[in-house]
Amino acid sequence: MGKVSLAHGSGGVETSLLFRQLILNHLPDWMKTLNNGLGLDFPDDSAAIPVPGGYVVTTIDSYTVSPIFFPGGDLGKLAAAGTLNDILMLGGKPVAVLDAIVVEEGTDMADLYRVVNSMISVLREEGVRLMGGDIKVMPSRQLDGILITTSGIGFASKLIVDKNIKPGDKIIITGNIGDHGAAILAAQQKIQTDEFRSDVAPLTRLMIPLIESFSDSIHAARDPTRGGVAMALNDWARSSDTTIVIYESELPIREPVVNLCEMMGIDPLSLASEGTALLAVHPDQADQVISLLHELGYREAKAIGEAREKTSSLGLVVLKTVIGGARILEPPSGEIVPRIC
Amino acid sequence: MEYSGDLRTLTKTVFRDGVLASEIVKLIRGYWDLLRSNGIEEVKIMNFCGTHEYTSTHYGIRSILPRGVTLIAGPGCPVCITPSFYVESAVKLALEGLTVYTYGDSYRLPAVKEIEGCKSLSDARMMGADVRVVYSFLDAAKDAAKHTNPSTFLAVGFETTCPAYASALASGLVPNNLTLIMAGRLTPPAARFAVERVGTVSGVIAPGHVSTITGAGVWRFLPEEYRIPTVVAGFEPIDVLIAVALILRQMVEGDTRLMIEYSRTVTMEGNTRAKRVLSQVFDIVDAAWRGIGFIENSGYALKENFREHDAFEQNGMKEPSWEEWSHDLLPGCICGQVILGAAKPTDCRLFMKGCTPGTPYGPCMVSAEGACSIWARMGGREAVAEVP
């Protein structure tokens, strides 16, 4: 069966395949379906259990990042924001979080305090309870620093589900692409500059007003974390059975991020964002949604493409390039390797 | 369109301008119509360099060229053509306890033969060997100077990468405990081999960065001996489109010659300092290319006075000779033909089945500059029909 590689965890094609072969294929139907709710039969940001008046939305995620502290955030902020965002992207309002912290023996106590304080302060600002958790210590070198798992619970009166994307829907991005991934990459390469800053942040102030004003027009929402915009759009096209067309000239990517990616031979569309959302919106309301996003402070928000009827001559996601060419936007595959010349 | 930003941004804006691109495509279509009226049915242009293949695929250039004008890949990916034998030697030395340095993509390059269950340096590291990925040879030299462990560097690369090895060796910056597995290669002999082998190449987009070192003059043999229009081009989409237009124009006018499109960095003479240090440190020898075999005068070998840094000499190993060389691709892998532009990545039965960027089977799926990897990651697997 071979060995587990880093590619299996990078959020691209290999991760999806492992998920299907390791887990999904071993579940009888009743284990993955939730009548009138959302289970593993339609993998999305979170799962949803129907209750009177709406849905209980729940999710779980493990967070590990190297370095633990990076420009714009740290592991604790990531662990809180990431899980809150998964709830929000399904149309839920986060209510509470559970955490599990695993620490390597010998870790600086000050670092552990700083990370956990950061997680707690995000939850406090968001008015989300921390209802329980666990702390474990692993012997030295059996873990690299700190690993945090958080599980979130929220409530949604209406679900926003990927498979509801319709041909004609505008694809909107709420901020710059790849800022988190670029900040981590730059920190790992010890690039000394203040040009890279993670966008990690909870998206509550974005999603709650959107849900309140446009609950019928927002057909899908996703925070493009691991695997980036490329993976998110491929997932969307597959689950909604549409072709998604994206215009390269419209993509908001900051210049330093473009340059870093060119230097390293990496596609910025496969870099993670941690405080940015992709939305699929009914075309009639797209402009209003973008105006609201601008008012809310998401000034980079813009339409980057649209969903179309699927045709056999087009791939799942097609990217119109700046020079007027077209190519398939592939889901990311493999681990990120730097180029040599 | 409106232009704004710093100089770098402005330059990129110009070289990726959609309006400019469509104007050049109009010219290309005009030349193509003239060629077709003269009975020419297909024009095959080899974009020699892996980075040109990247530009062609990434910007969807094939989708805007007229049907009949095709861009084919060439041998310009140093990792793809590094013989398996060197990888096997590096793995063997790593397992024997040497510290082995290399670049990120050669780190994952799979060999044909397994050494104690390891097919690549990345496997060897999983088995506990000391393999370190670096960004430059100087980083390795600095790191090796900090410890006394015998070390070696899997030194792949073309004329662009090899001056770094040469100048470090010539300036005495390489510590005594660091040797090189010298896998450096010269591109012009491979271009000659490729056009002879493929036979139907109508034009060559010659490598821009290699030519900054060698000078564009090294490509003169293509128009002079083979009557192939040749344009040394830069790596932005506008560069590639201009090169295609220039090649077609030469065909229309029947005026076959060498042109420099990338005149913002390339001269006919090249970088004389780099050329001097290369000739000070290296002899030029017949050398093997992966999946292809030996090509005359296509390899760099350390000169006599640098032999204390020769990994083979220092570790009692020997390079295989022309007669001893054996085919070094795994069964089913057609990288040898992909490299020569004789097959497309999608012609391979293993493409995106048994061979993916996550689990590469052949060498062209490993490097960011390998044609198979570029097609896999950048959506070259099908030509995208015009988007309505």
Residues of A in contact with B210 (CB under 8 A): none
Nearest Cα of chain B lies from the Cα of A140 at a distance, in angstroms, of 18
Q: Among residues 227-266 of chain A, which lie with CB inside 8 Å of chain B?
A: 245, 249, 255, 259, 265
Model confidence pLDDT, tens digit, residues A271-328: 999 999 999 999 999 999 999 999 999 999 999 999 999 876 556 899 999 999 999 8
- Check residue B1 and give its pLDDT: 57
Mean pLDDT, chain A, integer: 92
> Taking CB atoms and an 8 Å limit, are A339 and B367 in contact across chains?
yes
Q: What is the DSSP letter of B159?
A: T
pLDDT in tens, A25-75: 999 999 999 888 999 988 888 999 999 999 999 999 999 998 999 999 999
Residue B178 is predicted with a pLDDT of 98
Chain B: give the shortest CA distance to residue A70, in Å: 22
Nearest to B243 by CA among B252, B231, B235: B231
Q: Which fold has domain A162-328?
A: Phosphoribosyl-aminoimidazole Synthetase; Chain A, domain 2 (3.90.650)
pTM: predicted TM-score of the whole model, two decimal places:
0.87
CA distance A133 to chain B (A): 34
What is the signed CA dihedral for B172, B176, B177, B181, rounded to 10 degrees?
Answer: 60
* Number of Cβ within a 10 Å radius of residue B286: 14
The C-alpha atoms of residue B40 and residue B123 are separated, in whole angstroms, by 50
Smallest CA–CA distance from B59 into chain A, residue: A321
Mutate to test the interface with A, among B2, B58, B59, B161 (most CBs of A within 10 A): B59
Instruction: Answer whether residue B385 shows pLDDT above 80.
Output: no
Q: Do A319 and B60 touch (CB under 8 A)?
A: yes
The predicted pLDDT at position A245 comes to: 95
Nearest CA-CA distance, residue B158 and chain A, Å: 9
Domain boundaries, chain B: 84-185+271-314
Tokens of A94: 């986060």
Amino acid (one-letter) located at B164? A
* A334 lies within 8 A of chain B by CB: yes
- The answer to whether residue A340 scores a pLDDT higher than 70 is no
Residue with tokens 């591109």: B187
Share of chain B above pLDDT 70, in %: 97
Rounded to a whole number of angstroms, the distance from the CA of B385 to the nearest CA of chain A is: 6
- Spatial neighbors of B38 by CB under 8 A, at least 6 apart, are none
Cβ of A341 under 8 Å from any chain B Cβ? yes
Nearest to A89 by CA among A273, A244, A245: A273
Phi/psi of residue B340, nearest 5 degrees: -85, 5
Q: Which residue of B has its CA nearest to A322?
A: B18
| Distance from C-alpha of B211 to C-alpha of B267, rounded to nearest angstrom | 8
pLDDT digits (tens, 9 = 90+) for B249-287: 999 999 999 999 999 999 999 999 999 999 999 999 999
- Domain ranges for chain A: 33-156, 162-328
Please, how many CA atoms are within 13 Å of residue B372, restricted to the half-sphere of its CB? Answer: 34
> A246: closest CA among B16, B379, B71?
B379
Look at A340 and B379 and tell me if their CB atoms are within 8 Å.
no
Asked if the Cβ–Cβ distance from B384 to A326 is below 8 Å, we say: yes
| CA nearest to B357 within chain A | A334
Token reading at B354: 């048994």
Count Cβ atoms below 10 Å from residue A183 Cβ, excluding itself.
Answer: 26
Segment (H or E) for A281: strand A278-281
Minimum CA–CA partner of B237 in chain A: A323
Which percentage of chain A shows pLDDT scores above 70? Answer: 97
Encode A173-215 in three state secondary structure: ECCCCCHHHHHHHHHHCCCCCCCCCCCCCCCHHHHHHHHHHHC
Q: Which helix (H) or strand (E) holds A317?
A: strand A317-320
Contact assignment for B387 to A318 by CB distance below 8 Å: yes
pLDDT of residue A338: 47
Across the interface, whether the CB atoms of B386 and A326 are under 8 A apart is answered yes
CA of A317 to nearest chain B CA: how many angstroms apart? 10
Does domain A33-156 fall under CATH 2.70.98.10? My reply is no
Residue B64 has pLDDT above 50, yes or no: yes
Tokens of B174: 């390489």
Q: Which CATH class is domain B84-185+271-314?
A: alpha beta
Chain A CB contacts of B78 below 8 Å: 340-341
Which pLDDT score, from 0 to 100, does residue A72 have?
95
pLDDT 10s digits, B6-41: 787 788 888 999 999 999 999 999 999 999 999 999
Residues of A in contact with B8 (CB under 8 A): 255, 259
Which 8-state DSSP code applies to residue B387?
A: P
Poorest-confidence range of A80-94, A303-317, B81-95, B189-203? A303-317
Mean pLDDT of chain B: 93
Is residue B293 classed as helix, strand or coil in its secondary structure?
strand
Q: Which residue has the tokens 């730059």?
A: A186
Which of A280-294, B187-201, B231-245 shows the lowest per-residue confidence on average (mean pLDDT)? B187-201
Q: Which residues on adjacent β-strands are paired with residue A102?
A: A136, A147
pLDDT for residue A335: 65
Q: Residue B382: its pLDDT value, please?
A: 63
DSSP state of A244: E
Contact with chain B for residue A340, Cβ under 8 A: yes
pLDDT in the model for residue A15: 85
pLDDT tens, residue by residue, B317-363: 988 888 888 889 999 999 999 999 899 999 999 998 889 887 889 99
What is the C-alpha separation between A220 and A213, in angstroms, rounded?
Answer: 15
State whether residue A323 sits within 8 Å of chain B by CB: yes
Confidence of residue B387 (pLDDT cuts 50, 70, 90): low
Give the model's confidence band at A339: pLDDT under 50 very low, under 70 low, under 90 confident, else very high. Answer: very low
Say what the ipTM of the complex is. 0.81
Question: What average pLDDT does range A233-242 have in this prediction?
Answer: 92
Cβ contact, residue pair B381, A328, below 8 Å: yes
Of B21, B133, B161, the CB nearest to A341: B161
